[in-house]
Amino acid sequence: MNLSEGTTGSNLDLFGASPDASQEYWKVAVPAGMLQALTYSVPLSIARDERFRRGQGVIVPLGKRKLQGVLLDRTERDEKIKTKDIIAIDEDRPCLPEPFVQWLEWLARYYVWPIGHVAEMSFPLLDKAKNARQKERKSKHAPIAPELELTRPPELTAEQAKVIGDIQASSGFNAHLVHGVTGSGKTEIYMRLLEKVVQNGQQGIVLVPEISLTPQLIERFTRRLGNAVAVIHSHLTPRERTNQWWAMIEGKKQVLIGARSALFCPLPNLGMIVIDEEHESSFKQDEKLKYNARDAAVMLAKFSKCPVVLGSATPSLETWHNAKSGRYKYHELKLRVADRSMPTIEVIDLREERDVRKQTGENDLPFWMSQTLFTAVKETLEKNQQSALFLNRRGVAQAVVCPACGYVPECPNCAVKLTLHGKSHLLCHYCDYHESMKERCTQCPDGEPKPIGLGTEMIENDLVRLFPQARVARMDRDEIASREDLERMIKDVENREVDILVGTQMIAKGLDFPGLTLVGMVMADVAFNLPDFRASERSFQLLTQVSGRSGRHLDEGAGRVIIQTYNPEHPSIQFTCAHDFEGFAKFELSFREMLGYPPFWRLASFRIQGLDFEKVTSTAKRLRTRAQALQARSPNFASIEILGPAQAPLAKLRNNHRWQLLVKGPDPAALVAFCRHLSENQDWVPAAVKVVVDIDAVHML
Ligand code: ADP
Ligand code: ZN
């Protein structure tokens, strides 16, 4: 027996194994701020548990805390660090499906964000046991997905039938762009596709912008798909969210409708993702994990080997470019349903209007309202139809100014002018700082501050005066503080209790009001004058979407749209009037290509911010030096362009000074790697300064 002992001994030496040769080491995604996963050792009892595999939740120690993490891969022991044991399998969390785990890893890598924090987004706030223990409370809002009588689907239009047939003809992963004019029946297409997904025993996700997630929309889906529908949005209580989440995980519901975070529900059997209004910039999350839900959805579908459907009347140029280059399949709907016409669009040149008034001396209309718009509102009222007037600016006046010395009150915390609300309330739209307007200027002896510019509140006031018999309502962030407010307002408009609706872009977002036949853009210029390379695109989208609210249900004649502007020749207006998306896209893309902007090149922005201006400035400059040094070290990064640093357009926000450094390049992988390198080691950044990277940045202010 000496021999066998000797053999065993030499084997041990050969493989260099220690007495704990059977010890396993695993990477765990732990929500604690490190970019990488941590390595833990696994006690045998846990390693042998049949639930122990990639994607399973586990409880691990970190310092003195116990945290919930997600198991990733088996790994080698790292001699340099003393590993701790995994404490237990997490009984509260289901195992995440493999494609979903791959997707989480992609998100963490691509958006340069800690894998543990990314994984954490996949779980509801309350754990299962705690949720079950909590007493059922009566919810204060309407049922989440109400039980309603099912309605018979309409006969599909030829265009709808073709799109559905074409999408269903392909299997596995495919990205589809459904480009359909406003009112062409895209939602009907989504519902038919999802019906099929459910029939096949699979599940689907429908992402819509938070603001479109109205009872109106949910009702449309529940009237067709019945109790297969679950809904997740940010206004649910943690308990409601948790219940909806489990209903999907346990397969009690099949179709999840939600804002961008619904994507993080780890469905066991994902068969399709739909993203409505895919062009919406609200799909991009601004803080923490700066993901774009549209792009992330395409990746999730890819890992899950299922189709993803992106729908819009005004696709983002990124998606349009993908469709034109053949990466996405393109489907078009050129006509509104039931032979309804597209609205007619008139452009009013406010400069001419101003000159005419000067000459004739006629002055009874407010400066923002042209004679044409006034007459149109009057006629619409007489026909008992509804009008909506739109301006992308809240308040009574954009600012107040002292005519004697030119002083304009600004927010002490942000580099923005204070907006006038009501009679004398000066408000910062970024941090909610407010003060009351003084009758006398604080900076000079004899000035009396006067309001300048325009806001929705002033429009409302003027309308009440001009049309005393009309019922006027305002829909903006001042009036609509909560989801309940929004729902009530929508009901009022639907029930014809409102004749004229005044609003900011809120009313542009997908609402479908049968009685609405006149849309007025009070001053279209507000959108395209922003310092952002996407300003033109946004402006075109906004104008087209707002126009699309008009006359959606008119079986005779067409809805009317009146665009007032000081720049009638601006391309975003010209192409909107011609209902020419393709022309606009071509025009705009030629600039983007020339300047090396998305969708041709990728762009990322580093934001450098902090309370101390000097420190922020010097950190921004050092970041540039580091970026240049990094570029010099690797030929991989040769094609990357470094722009700035420069102060952000909003140079100060809530007392934080803000700088940005932009980097862009033709090779996405190289750009992301570059940003990763630059972000990884932040030992050089002063404690009071934050440097964060935003890959595929959307919000540039
Ligand atoms: P989109 O999302 O393309 O703007 P919607 O899906 O909201 O358009 O459809 C506009 C209106 O037309 C809705 O009231 C919808 O119920 C109706 N509709 C959709 N498809 C049909 C159809 N095939 N026949 C009749 N009405 C339809
Ligand atoms: Zn402020």
pLDDT in tens, 392-403: 887 777 888 888
Mean pLDDT of 134-140: 49
Asked if residue 11 has pLDDT above 80, the reply is: no
Range of the domain at 643: 602-695
* pLDDT above 70 for 3: no
Query: CA 235 to CA 339: how far, in whole Å?
Result: 38
Kindly state whether residue 123 falls inside one of the protein's structural domains.
no
- Closest ligand, as measured to the CA of 277: 1
Q: Is the CB of 449 under 6 A from ligand 1?
A: no
Q: How many other C-beta atoms can be found within 10 angstroms of the C-beta atom of residue 655? A: 12
> What CATH number did the domain enclosing 647 receive?
3.30.70.360
Q: Is the pLDDT of residue 203 over 80?
A: yes
| Ligand 1 atom at minimal distance to the Cα of residue 157 | 23
Choose the residue to mutate in 337, 494, 552, 555 for probing ligand 1, maximizing ligand atoms within 8 Å of C-beta: 337
Please, which residues bridge with residue 232 across strands? 258
Ligand 1 and 153: CB distance under 6 A: no
575 and 612 share one domain:
no
Two tokens, residue 543: 């104008």
Instruction: Please report the pLDDT score of residue 158 as a whole number.
Output: 96
Atom of ligand 1 nearest to the CA of 155: 23
pLDDT value, residue 128: 64
For residue 678, tell me if it sits in a domain.
yes
Among 333-337, 413-417, 506-510, 603-607, the range scoring the smallest mean pLDDT is: 506-510
- Atom from ligand 1 closest to the CA of residue 182: 4
Query: Which ligand has its closest atom nearest to the C-alpha of 417?
Result: 2
Domain count, the chain: 5
CATH code for position 171: 3.40.50.300
Q: Which residue has the higher pLDDT, 506 or 226?
A: 226
Amino acid type, 180: G
Residues 329 and 425 in one domain: no
Q: How far is the CA of 468 from the centre of ligand 1 (A)?
A: 35
Least confident range of 57-61, 293-297, 326-330, 564-568 = 564-568
pLDDT for 298: 98
Contact yes or no for 193/169 (Cβ under 8 A): no
Each residue's pLDDT tens digit, 520-541: 999 988 767 777 889 899 999 9
Q: How confident is the model at residue 377 (pLDDT cuts 50, 70, 90)?
A: very high
**Cα 337 to ligand 1 centre (Å):** 6
Residue 194 lies in a domain: yes
Same domain, 174 and 249: yes
Single out the residue in 414, 436, 452 at which a domain terminates: 452
pLDDT higher at 34 or 361: 34
State the pLDDT at residue 21: 55
Which residue is closest in CA terms to ligand 1's atom 15? 185
Regarding whether 562 and 578 lie in a shared domain, the answer is: yes
Q: Would you say 134 and 239 are in contact if contact means Cβ atoms under 8 Å apart?
A: yes
**C-alpha of residue 415 to centroid of ligand 2, in Å:** 7
Q: How many CA atoms lie within 13 A of 88 on its CB side?
A: 6
Average pLDDT over residues 687-699: 95
Confidence of residue 86 (pLDDT cuts 50, 70, 90): very high
- The terminus-to-terminus CA distance of the chain in angstroms comes to 78
Residues 6+ apart with CB under 8 A from 124: 131, 238, 241, 242, 245, 246
Calculate the alpha carbon distances from 531 to 261, 523, 650, 654 in Å. 29, 18, 10, 20
| Judgement on whether residues 574 and 615 belong to the same structural domain of the protein | no
pLDDT at 147: 74
Nearest CA to ligand 1 atom 12: 185
Task: Specify whether the CB–CB gap between 545 and 316 falls below 8 A.
Answer: no
Task: Kindly state whether residue 15 falls inside one of the protein's structural domains.
Answer: no
Beta bridge partners, 596, equal: none
547 close to ligand 1 (CB < 6 Angstrom): no
Q: Best mutation site among 152, 162, 188, 190 for ligand 1, i.e. most ligand atoms within 8 A of its Cβ?
A: 188
Q: What's the whole-number mean pLDDT along residues 585-604?
A: 95
* 185 Cβ closer than 6 Å to some ligand 1 atom: yes
In a domain, 102, yes or no: no
Tell whether 254 and 295 lie within a shared domain: yes
Residues 6+ apart with CB under 8 A from 265: 122, 205, 232, 245, 248, 249, 256, 258
Q: By mean pLDDT, which of 406-415, 522-531, 569-578 is the weakest?
A: 522-531
Q: How far apart are CA 44 and CA 136, in angstroms?
A: 40
Q: How far is the CA of 430 from the centre of ligand 2 (A)?
A: 5
pLDDT at site 96: 97
CA of 269 from ligand 1 middle (Å) equals: 29
Please indicate whether residue 337, judged by its CB atom, sits closer than 6 Å to ligand 1: yes
pLDDT computed for residue 138 by the predictor: 47
Of 146, 338, 155, 276, give the one whose Cα is nearest residue 223.
146
Q: Which two tokens stand for residue 15?
A: 């493989």
Residue 462, pLDDT above cutoff 90: yes
Q: Would you list the DSSP string of 209-260?
A: -GGG--HHHHHHHHHHHGGGEEEE-TTS-HHHHHHHHHHHHTTS--EEEESG
**694 Cα: distance to centroid of ligand 2 (angstroms):** 23
Give the rounded percent of residues in the chain with a pLDDT score beyond 70. Answer: 93
512 lines ligand 1 (CB under 6 A): yes
- At 18 the pLDDT is 47
Is 271 domain-assigned?
A: yes
Q: Is the CB of 161 under 6 A from ligand 1?
A: no
Q: Pick the more confident residue, 77 or 319.
A: 319
Judged against a pLDDT cut of 70, whether residue 248 lies above it is answered with yes
Are residues 220 and 77 part of one domain?
Answer: no
Q: Is the minimum distance from the CB of 160 to ligand 1 under 6 angstroms?
A: yes
Q: How confident is the model at residue 659 (pLDDT cuts 50, 70, 90)?
A: very high
Nearest CA to ligand 1 atom 13: 185
Q: How confident is the model at residue 130, as a pLDDT?
A: 60
**Residue 663: inside a domain:** yes
Residue 129 pLDDT greater than 80, yes or no: no
Question: Are residue 575 and residue 469 in the same domain, yes or no?
Answer: yes
- Amino acid 398: pLDDT: 80
* pLDDT of the residue at 37: 94
Query: Which of 568, 591, 614 is where one domain is finished?
Result: 591
Residue 617 Cα, ligand 2 centroid: separation in angstroms? 21
570 and 653 share one domain: no
How close is the Cα of 165 to the center of ligand 1, in Å?
A: 18
Region 591-597 average pLDDT: 93
pTM, 2 dp:
0.90
Q: Whose CA is nearest to atom 19 of ligand 1?
A: 185
108 domain residue, yes or no? no
419-435, pLDDT tens digit by residue?
999 888 999 988 889 99
- Average of per-residue pLDDT across 637-656: 94
Residues 261 and 209 in one domain: yes
* Whether residue 235 is found in the same domain as residue 313: yes
Tell me the helices (H) and strands (E) count for the chain, helix number first.
Answer: 21, 27
State which of 591, 626, 650 marks the end of a domain.
591
Centre of ligand 1 to C-alpha 36, Å, is: 47
Ligand 2 center from residue 655 Cα (angstroms): 8
Does any ligand 1 atom lie closer than 6 A to the CB of residue 154?
yes
187 lines ligand 1 (CB under 6 A): yes
In tens, the pLDDT along 485-520 reads 888 888 899 999 999 999 887 666 667 888 999 999
- Closest C-alpha among 295, 303, 294, 236 to residue 266: 303
Higher pLDDT, 150 or 140: 150
Decide whether any atom of ligand 1 lies within 6 Å of the 188 Cβ: yes
- Those residues with Cβ within 8 angstroms of residue 354's Cβ, 6 or more apart along the chain or in another chain: 367
From the CB of 277, is ligand 1 less than 6 Å away? no
* Ligand number, closest to the Cα atom of 276: 1
Q: Do both 437 and 525 map to the same domain?
A: no
Q: Please say whether the beta carbons of 301 and 328 come within 8 A.
A: no
Indicate if ligand 1 lies below 6 Å from the C-beta of 338. Answer: yes
141-148: average pLDDT: 64
Segment 336-344 shows an average pLDDT of 88
Cβ of 340 below 6 Å from ligand 1: no
